[in-house]
């Protein structure tokens, strides 16, 4: 899978102290897949080490043929995921 990091993502990585390696790990260890109905974007969630702790992190991305264009990434809690599913903002995506 070819990952393209957008300029927005690169800015966010610097602001949040997230390495590009973490972005790669999110995709390698992908555990949960969602569709963001508000942003019309794919979302993948994985547990990775971030700031010294094992945390769930999401990566929002667009899939264009064989290219995966990563738009943003940040930590997310189970409660936030549940709320997004209940509200209808997210739905489960089968991969």
Above 80 in pLDDT, residue 34? Answer: yes
pTM tops 0.75, yes or no: yes
Task: Please choose, from the candidates 36, 84, 89, 92, the residue with its C-alpha nearest in 3D space to the C-alpha of residue 59.
Answer: 36
Residues 69-83: b if buried by 16+ CB within 10 A, e if exposed = bbbbbeebeeeebee
Q: In this prediction, what percent of the chain has a pLDDT beyond 70? A: 100
Q: In this prediction, what percent of the chain has a pLDDT beyond 90? A: 92
pLDDT digit string, tens, across residues 48-69: 999 999 999 999 999 998 899 9
Mean pLDDT of the chain: 95
Above 80 in pLDDT, residue 95? Answer: no
Helix (H, G, I), strand (E, B) or coil at 13: helix
């Amino acid at each position: 899978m070819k990952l393209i990091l957008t300029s927005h993502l690169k800015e966010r990585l610097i602001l949040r102290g997230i390495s590009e390696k973490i972005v790669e790990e999110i995709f390698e260890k992908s555990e949960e897949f969602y569709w963001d109905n508000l942003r019309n974007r794919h979302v993948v969630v994985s547990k990775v080490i971030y700031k010294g702790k094992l945390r769930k992190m999401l990566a929002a991305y667009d899939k264009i043929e064989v290219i995966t264009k990563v738009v943003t990434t940040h930590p997310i809690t189970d409660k936030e995921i549940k709320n997004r599913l209940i509200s209808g903002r997210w739905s489960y995506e089968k991969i």
